Structure 1
Amino acid sequence: MSFPLSGHRGVAAVLSASLLATLAACGGGDAGGDSATAKAGSGTELTVLAASSLTDVFATAGAAYEKEHPGTKVTFSFAGSQELAAQVGQGAPADALVTADTRTMDRLTADTGRPTVIAKNRLVIATEEGNPEKIQGLSDLADPALKVVLAAPEVPVGRYGRQILDARGIDVKPVSQEPNVRAVLSKVELGEADAGLVYRTDAATATDNVDAIDIPDAQNAIASYPAATLKSSGNSEAAAAFVSWLSTPEAQKILRDAGFQKP
């Protein structure tokens, strides 16, 4: 039905009132309506910021979580923990955060819920396959003829690496300092470095291309992985559920199978 432009303002007003009533009944423009839709199971998308060293294991964990929680999709964004902290500070849209150290997480208390350590890790010396330079321990990394690559000192694995080297008075001059542990591993895999300090779990993902030289416990450092929800999350309940799930037996088995240690 159509009406002339003049003489029908009363009809238009009635139609407008009817339209507003319909929208109100459907919850349009109402945060409560959005919440009701979410509860009805329309699907939840979670974005998790995670340390680079979790890249492979979280692919497995994410698939397991989605299978156990139909209607929930988990998307991961991997980077060095210091980069993740910067993203959180800049207000990047995300629901949860997992770093490779407690120091980084502790600086974000205003932005996160209470963190829970979900795993631990240790460092190894990654070398080219076959260890052609015959590297046996940390002291060998001081050889100026070796091309050694480390993570930058603001990166957790870089800080751990410097910590264990300094504790033994070993002076290493790296040919480069990388933004995350995967970049260190890549340099060794590609033959651009003779050795690098990486997490044991990262070396385990590249056994066809690198060897891992163990570092004795007394000379090593323990990396802790805290997980927390982000206060800016639009899916706070779902984010909390995912963070809690990371401590369940199923998730812990996935982490153990990948070489991570118990929290």
Structure 2
Amino acid sequence: MTRSACRTRRTLRVAGAGVAALLTLSACSSDDSSSGSDAASGPASSGSTSSSPELSGTVTVFAAASLKESFTTLGEEFEEQHPGTKVTFNFGGSDSLAAGVTGGAPADVFAAASARTMEVVTDADHVDGTPATFVRNQLEIATLPGNPDGIASLKDLTKSGLKVVLCDEEVPCGAAAQKALEAGGLELTPVSYEQDVKSALTKVELKEADAAVVYRTDVVAAGGKVEGVEFPESADAVNDYPIALLKDAPNAEAAEAFIELVRSAEGQQVLDEAGFLKP
């Protein structure tokens, strides 16, 4: 019963009968009390829900070059979920990024393409908590579209006259390629060593090389610009990708939320579609 309705009934009852008026007043008082109780409980409940502060500000993420496409997608999703935030990325070779972090570059999150590279940062005491492996990645051979050189195995890369590009051994994709070559008992002299996996792939896309050993995710991201060739030795060189909150993160709260998104079912779906393997 509303307060206006009660007020009208009070006037009518008082004019007709005092007892009825008293009964009406009692009923209205009861209704008003109940209504007030509900009103009090409503805001208290909603107040507790909205008590957690909203995220804002910039989240700076240092991430391995092979994460560029999937992390860009997740960054856009994060900004939609948290209006008032912005995610900026520094993509590159994991070793260079690790050097930047240990050198004092301002960043909130570090996602590396190997556990060994993450250790450089953790050993320097720049990580808050324990890094978590969120995906894995496997190598493939990227060839020109249509695979005109008929490359069918890792051994085929040792053919005379074939221009092959590898990542530098200090970069996780380069270290993995060397491990795969050792597993196959093969030696290979590339025409160049690149500082990150995207640079190696670009050499093939621009037809400056016939083939490159890259991650399967990079082949997927390139679409029809290259063709991927799987090889069994890659199973001996699968890289774990760890992610961590950095100790001096300027925006730690939002950084933790971004890491949660990466590790969530939604984040894992984006990474799976990009060709990454489950951790």
Summarize the Cα distance change of 1:134–1:75 in structure 2 as closer, same or farther, 3 Å threshold. Answer: same
After TM superposition, list the pairs within 5 Å mapping 1:1-263 onto structure 2: 41=54, 43-109=56-122, 110-113=125-128, 114-216=130-232, 219-263=235-279
Task: Name the CA distance, whole Å, in 1 between partners of 2:54 and 2:175.
Answer: 43
Task: Name the CA distance, whole Å, in 2 between partners of 1:220 and 1:64.
Answer: 34
Summarize the Cα distance change of 1:187–1:72 in structure 2 as closer, same or farther, 3 Å threshold. Answer: same
| Match of residue 7 from structure 1 | none
- Residue 244 of structure 1 deviates from its aligned partner by 2.2
Letter in structure 1 aligned against 2:127: T
Task: Name the CA distance, whole Å, in 1 between partners of 2:112 and 2:138.
Answer: 15
Structure 1 gap ranges (5+): 1-38
Runs of 4+ in 1 over 6 A off after TM superposition: none
Q: SS state of the match for residue 232, structure 1? A: coil
- Residue 245 of structure 1 deviates from its aligned partner by 2.1
Task: Name the CA distance, whole Å, in 2 between partners of 1:41 and 1:249.
Answer: 22
TM-score (norm 1): 0.82
Summarize the Cα distance change of 1:181–1:193 in structure 2 as closer, same or farther, 3 Å threshold. Answer: same
- Residue 192 of structure 1 deviates from its aligned partner by 0.7
Q: Deviations over 1:191-239 (max 9, x none)?
A: 1111110000101111222100012267542111100011111212221
Summarize the Cα distance change of 1:89–1:171 in structure 2 as closer, same or farther, 3 Å threshold. Answer: same
Letter in structure 1 aligned against 2:161: A
Letter in structure 1 aligned against 2:88: T
Q: How many residues align?
A: 225
Letter in structure 2 aligned against 1:51: A
Which has the larger helix fraction?
2
Structure whose CA Rg is larger = 2
- Residue 86 of structure 1 deviates from its aligned partner by 0.8
Contact 2:55 2:82 in 1 (8 A): no
Q: Deviations over 1:89-145 (max 9, x none)?
A: 111111110000010101211101210111111100000111111001001111121
Comparing 157-166 with 110-119, which one deviates more in the overlay?
110-119
| Match of residue 8 from structure 1 | none
Contact 2:165 2:212 in 1 (8 A): yes
Task: Name the CA distance, whole Å, in 1 between partners of 2:91 and 2:234.
Answer: 30
Q: SS state of the match for residue 243, structure 2? A: strand
Identity of aligned residues (%): 45
